[in-house]
């Protein structure tokens, strides 16, 4: 699990990484899009700019972040049409409550054009950590000014349903002798189409705890039968087309 190929490129990446800016951008502008708001019209310029950067030796590869399948395919088509360099990966949000894009859409793009997947927010901006099981602590991120959207999400009807599921998952994690965050990260890593999971941590101890999710004590326990039990708790497994495979038993 330590290193994985990024899509069908020759680039090898760590299966976990440390990220800050993507989560910050999402938290500050949760309704915005990182890609250009004017849509496909500016994609040729983006592809040309990235090709220029790579040809000048300032980068080896480039990827997208929070682009939809149509935009990624358009970028790939533009690159092929004008002899430019296409993206090799998409950076997408992925956790137990956000599954469709990474488990259905990106595997299809992988088979078509070799796009890899780097995922972020495995703990759903802290919601899956379990810290909100009894409400919102005064010191928690959701109680701070500017993060009201997290509080609204937690306090919503869907948020209450998610907290009930997290209580079940916490008991499940104890059965596997790990913490809920470790289980959540290992669950993301069990998807063999996820090339790297980007972790966010507010303190060193938290980072060390999260990294333990990739050690032999946790990840190998997420077998197909265990993953199926987790799916029974989550009840949100996205529909996959026949023949689409995105997970395997480790």
187-221 residue pLDDT tens: 999 998 999 999 876 677 777 777 766 664 578 88
Mean pLDDT for the chain overall? 84
Interval 103-118 mean pLDDT = 96
Q: What is the pLDDT of residue 36?
A: 46
What is the distance between the alpha carbons of residues 162 and 183, in angstroms, rounded to a whole number?
A: 16
Residues in a beta bridge with 13:
4
Share above pLDDT 70 across residues of the chain, in percent, rounded to a whole number = 81
Six-digit token string for 135: 């409400």
What is the distance between the alpha carbons of residues 49 and 244, in angstroms, rounded to a whole number?
A: 34
Q: What is the pLDDT of residue 19?
A: 65
Residues in a beta bridge with 14:
3
Write down the pTM of the prediction: 0.83
Q: Is residue 102 scored above 80 in pLDDT? A: yes
Long-range contacts of 36-40 (CB under 8 A, 24+ apart): 39/71, 40/70, 40/71, 40/74
Backbone angles phi, psi at 199, to 5 degrees: -100, 145
| Residue pair 89/6 in contact by the 8 Å Cβ criterion | yes
Q: What is the pLDDT of residue 249?
A: 36
What is the distance between the alpha carbons of residues 173 and 25, in angstroms, rounded to a whole number?
A: 30
For 31, residues 6+ apart whose C-beta sits below 8 A from its C-beta are: none
Summarised one tens digit per residue, pLDDT across range 135-176 is 888 888 888 888 899 999 999 999 999 999 999 999 999 999
Q: Is residue 2 scored above 90 in pLDDT? A: no
Q: What is the pLDDT of residue 77?
A: 96
What is the distance between the alpha carbons of residues 104 and 235, in angstroms, rounded to a whole number?
A: 16
> Where do the DSSP E strands lie in the chain?
3-5, 12-14, 16-18, 64-65, 89-93, 116-120, 196-199
């Amino acid at each position: 699990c330590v290193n994985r190929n990024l899509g069908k490129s020759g680039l090898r990446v760590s299966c976990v990484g440390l990220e800050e800016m993507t989560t910050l951008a999402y938290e500050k502008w949760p309704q915005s899009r990182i890609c250009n708001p004017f849509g496909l019209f500016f994609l040729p310029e983006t592809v040309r700019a990235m090709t220029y950067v790579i040809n000048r030796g300032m980068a080896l590869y480039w990827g997208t972040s929070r682009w939809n399948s149509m935009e990624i395919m358009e970028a790939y088509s533009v690159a092929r049409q004008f002899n430019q360099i296409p993206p090799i990966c998409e950076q997408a949000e992925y956790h137990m409550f956000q599954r469709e894009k990474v488990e259905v859409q990106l595997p299809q793009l992988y088979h078509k054009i070799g796009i890899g997947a780097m995922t972020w927010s495995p703990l759903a901006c802290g919601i899956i950590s379990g810290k909100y099981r009894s409400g919102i602590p005064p010191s928690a991120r959701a109680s701070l000014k500017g993060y009201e959207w997290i509080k609204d999400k937690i306090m919503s009807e869907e948020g209450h349903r998610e907290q009930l599921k997290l209580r079940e998952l916490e008991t499940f994690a104890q059965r596997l002798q790990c913490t809920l965050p470790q289980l959540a990260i290992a669950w993301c890593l069990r998807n063999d189409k996820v090339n790297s999971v980007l972790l966010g941590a507010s303190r060193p101890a938290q980072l060390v705890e999260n990294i333990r999710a990739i050690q032999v004590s946790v990840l190998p326990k997420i077998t197909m039968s265990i993953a199926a039990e987790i799916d029974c708790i989550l009840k949100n497994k996205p529909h996959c087309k026949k023949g689409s495979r995105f997970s395997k038993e480790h």
